Amino acid sequence: MKRPEFLRPAYLVSGAVAAALAGWLVRADSWQAKLVMVLFAWVFFAYGAWSMREVWSVLVESARDIGDWWRRRRLPVSHVHTGPLPELPPATQAKVRKAVAVMAAHGLFKPEVPDAALLFAGLARTEGRARPDDILFAMQGVSYYHPGAKPEAWMANLVQEEFHAEQFEDALQRQVEDIVRLSEGALQVEDLHISLNPRAGDDDSRDVQVQVHMAVNGERVELDYPGHLKSLSTHVQHALAKRLASQGNGRRLAWLYMGESICLSVLKDGAVEALNRELRLGPRSSCQWAWVDEQEPVDASVVDAPPS
């Protein structure tokens, strides 16, 4: 016999805690009366916790969003830095210049290459690191230290996708359009249809079955995979990467794992291996470039794991 959902340990434990607190606070004439009152409170609070499960999931998700923001809080774009700029040690400046030069040589920056010196202040808190993800984060916040800088002039070949972000139809459509733009004409997507349907039997109402139908360079592509309305799946990216690689024009979709997000870029064949070699990024590195078409699609349930 299947155990009723409201008898799950989490609800029973929460009810027991609330009942114990009620028993401690409320006085009764006899221990029998107190026992009956505690048992009643236990059932009442356990059932209440179960009936409010959707509220708990929203609160947990909101708490995680706040935690993600705190861990990766970005420089405010509505304000500018005042006072002397944070200083970067000369040795780290050299690392930044090298990293920017290597990334530029392999076509990551378009249409312009950033001046590495503009990134020094934003990298002052990285404890001497100058990894690709540090460079990209510093580019995003460069306007805080240098209001006249225009980071959009460097990022035409870069797209960042957050792991924990809304994944409704419009977000999936934008993801397709971004990769088509990065391909610079190598991918043509037509007749795009996206549908999200609740998955039967799932407790979390944000669990959905995603269906994507599209024609990529004349080929019909049908995707059907389990998704989540607040977590990224990479089936779309993987499918388009496969079609781009099959064109045989020497250009492929690459990504860089950046903790809570991935950065996508279309690079020439061999660029990923060269980037990892020249920047000394290995399997144990916290970030490493990889070809998307060589990876397995990442499901929403495992988005916290590196996709490479």
Say if residue 183's pLDDT is above 60.
yes
Q: Which pLDDT value is given to residue 204?
A: 62
SS3 62: helix
The answer to whether the pTM exceeds 0.85 is no
User: pLDDT band at residue 277, thresholds of 50, 70 and 90?
Assistant: very high
The domains of the chain are located at 5-71, 159-302
Average pLDDT of the residues of the chain: 82
Which residue type, as a one-letter code, is found at position 169?
Answer: E
Query: Measured between alpha carbons, how far is 130 from 159 in angstroms, rounded to an integer?
Result: 20
The region that residue 13 occupies, defined by phi over 0 for left and psi between -120 and 50 for alpha, beta otherwise, is: alpha
User: pLDDT band at residue 52, thresholds of 50, 70 and 90?
Assistant: low
Lowest-pLDDT choice from 54-58, 71-75, 99-103, 146-150: 71-75
Contact 210, 196 (CB under 8 A): yes
Q: Which pLDDT value is given to residue 249?
A: 92
Query: Measured between alpha carbons, how far is 225 from 249 in angstroms, rounded to an integer?
Result: 29
Q: How many CB atoms lie within 10 A of CB 219?
A: 9
Which residue type, as a one-letter code, is found at position 246?
Answer: S
SS3 10: helix
| Mean pLDDT score, 2-24 | 56
Q: Which pLDDT value is given to residue 48?
A: 63
